[in-house]
Homo-oligomer: A and B are copies of this chain.
Amino acid sequence: MRTSIATVSLSGSLVEKLHACASAGFDGVEIFEPDLIAGDHSPEEIRALATRLGLSLNLYQPLRDLEGVDETTFADNLRRARATFVTAQRLGIDTVLVCSNAGATATVDDDDVSASQLRRIGDLAATCGIRIAFEALAWGRFVDDYRRAWRIVQLADHPAVGVCLDSFHVLSRGHDPAGIEDIPGAKIFYLQLADAPALRMDVLSWSRHHRLFPGEGAFDLTAFVGHVLATGYDGPLSLEVFNDTFRQTDPQRTAVHALRSLRWLQDELHLIDIPDAKPPNGFDFVEIKAEDTGEVEVLLGQLGFTPRGRHRSKPVSLWCAGQARVVLNEQQARDQRPQVAAIGLQVPDAEATSGRARALMAPTAYRRTYASEQPFGATTVPGGVEVFWTSEPAWVGEFRDGVPQTPSPVRVIDHVNLSLPWQTAQDAALLLTSVFGLHAEEPTEVPGPTGLIRSQVLRSRVCAGPRARGTTPLAEPGAGEVRIPFNVAPHVLDDADPTQHVAFGCDDVVALARAARAAGLEFLPVPDNYYDYLSGRFGLDDGYVAELRALDLLYDRGPDGHFVHFYTRTVGSVFFEFVQRFGGYDGYGVDNAPVRLAAQRGRVGTVRT
């Protein structure tokens, strides 16, 4: 099926948008009228440019508030429609979107009247070689259900009059998409796709600000398109996504992001043949890069990590504890303070993952690899880090002169927490979910001292049932699993260095904290008020609270278990967390995040007393 996107989904001028769509690889676009009006290029120039770029122009839209009106208004509407059809002809577009009347002129709530008016518009359109696709807006005054729009089209009974289906207008109202199968495919003149998060707000604002690309929200678009395909529809799959972020950000990047969402959807529908997503079965390593990694080495040493040697060809060293591997990289890191540079994932079939990454246009990351060294699949997450994947960690053998690994309470990398700029967070999330088959949980918000931080967890295991924290007891929580919480800071903090953190799962976090303290580790200090609160909140034993307090340990409890964790100070832009999950606790101690954020701010900012 041909891929397409509405120009309103991207930022910039119409010409910039066409270039972005073509270079991403879309087959065509639908032209949003205001984009044409505000630009210098004539319809003929736009048509010629699209031809040169290999883009079909599939739809011109929207023609608003045409039907359901009195006859005086209708006469003026016909005149207005003619002008639009002439523009569409000049563009070489044969389909014009007519949306149901949502304005004050909608005064006649009668299917026969709407049908008669659509029929006359159809007559006019036909004389221009145009057909009209009638769409029920979710907020249409009278026609707000695709089933009613289809009834009216049936009554109009005109070869130039069909329906346009838009997943947002159907699914936002909770209308059953199964009824789509009652429409013959030949009468579905157009299909527009948008996903959206589950929000409870008026449908107009929801539609105009918060639409998302397929796979990013709460709508089941696979089922929706399945119903459309069952009718025999063979027109384009076209994205129409009104979103405040995409309106502001680089159209080239958004176009690739958009096409990736369609490829993902096509794969879900078995319309294209690309390797399956096989979720990773664990973290392979985390890489920290710095001009001088010495400070991190001291920290890891205090936490019981063992230095396993230097790489045979690069200024890179490996530190291990349990199954957790940390790679320290001083290569090409001039003037760089420590930061998380890469995440390694263990995948069941590295070849298949690489094929899938290519098919989904994941941007390739390049690292110099010498013969006899293990090659990795690699991609760069927009605005974030690099991700590598392998099936077997044979690369560990490339490190030399290490010391034997000593036992440690640290078992695994539990999660890697990435801070992303708001401009690229959605793009980054779709890249990881679509390529690696990670599941995105419901976003939450964490109040920090200078604003709300949006947090969303991507993980390799899907919790059944409600997605709230701690609902799914796992036999061995955190083991063989990948969890990547994404944090998006508020706009005002854009200039602040984003901090990333790596959390390690432990068998005995209290023993680890005690040993690390004895070894001189600097902990993130936790305020006394927190422990007074903790005691009241959970009714914990006084002795236990005293132990937590003495070691700056934090505590959380869910329905299925509890959680104990602590943080190191921040080095460069990275800090470490050590966590222990008890019972089926499946969260991240998110209620403690405000305490951490305040403590971290207190350490760097000036606080008046």
Contacts and interface: CB of A to CB of B under 8 A. Distances in A.
Contacts of A602: 13, 40
Contacts of A607: 13, 15-16
Contact of A527 (B19, B39, B525): B39
Question: What is the size category of the interface that chain A forms with chain B?
Answer: 35 or more
A490 interface: yes
A527 B608 contact: no
Contact of A37 (B34, B49, B529): B529
A20 to B, nearest CB: 10
A535 interface: yes
A51 to B, nearest CB: 14
Contacts of A609: 15, 41, 49
A452 B608 contact: no
Contact of A608 (B19, B493, B595): B19
Contact of A449 (B13, B40, B244): B13
A451 B36 CA distance: 17
A80 B42 contact: no
Interface string A352-369: 000000000000000000
Interface stretch (A197-205, A284-292, A301-309, A379-387): A197-205
A82 interface: yes
Interface in A186-220: 199-202, 205, 209
A326 to B, nearest CB: 30
Contact of A598 (B38, B199, B608): B38
Interface in A425-476: 447, 449-452
A38 B201 contact: no
A595 B38 contact: yes
B527 A13 contact: no
19 contacts: A11-B449, A12-B450, A15-B609, A16-B608, A19-B608, A36-B529, A36-B533, A37-B529, A37-B595, A38-B527, A38-B597, A38-B599, A40-B529, A41-B609, A87-B533, A201-B202, A209-B452, A244-B452, A247-B450
